[in-house]
Chains A and B, each alone.
Chain A
């Protein structure tokens, strides 16, 4: 009789562990995982832009889906109801890097136009500017 209880307990435990694992690794929120991930590449925002303007397809191969830390000058900050966008651009460049933040991932009072900043995010490609999303501010 005791044995059955132990087996039942073991089954419940295993179930809980599998459940927790599934929850953490499958249903976890995507945003959280990026901030805690180690950067694959660290680069100046202006150099990143140059890689894309020089040769977009080879830059895609290098940077797409990678966790990237960029350094750059804040040109402007815009926001809507759920997100904040920080645009990094050097005055001499004609384009820059567009960094998208979830509103919960950024304290806007900590940053302002003209600041030099380090931002970590995932590179999703190049349109008019290089685009990073799921960003967080790096210290």
Chain B
């Protein structure tokens, strides 16, 4: 079950980099969602103003070098950004003829709690380990935030580079969320009271429901297969 999720989705994971002169600075993960060259990511990893590019992973399946010394990013622009729900829709500027399978979008509302999920991202690409790392978890909770946002909690600690990657229901092999970052209950208190209590590091991570990403795609006039 998990191998086939990994096989199916590792090709969609991209490194989002900001292009600064001759250097590529890794920002976080992103994933392809549409054959017209669209990708989704988390909004908070995007800088306010920067030249951005996507870099695919090295062909997987075998041992690959730890670091890609040089990369050739495909330039992208941010076409839609939903900062409230922390998702953003990117578009590749050149028309490359990308292949995206159909039936990749899942339904978080109908995904039962306890379902095995897999998250994928470039966990350690900040440190120049440029490999897609997959993590297995169960869907721990589906939470409605004070803002009525649909948040998915899953029980594996993720790493800084994972933000912006897909969270995939391993049973039906469809994407149900965009990985945001670690879930810290203390932040909840901090947001409402302004003072942050001591927090133990949490082994729980959070993702935003894919429905907000789908909403952005619909606004862009993209049809979902």
> Is the A/B pair a real complex?
no
**Chain A residues within CB distance 8 Å of chain B:** none
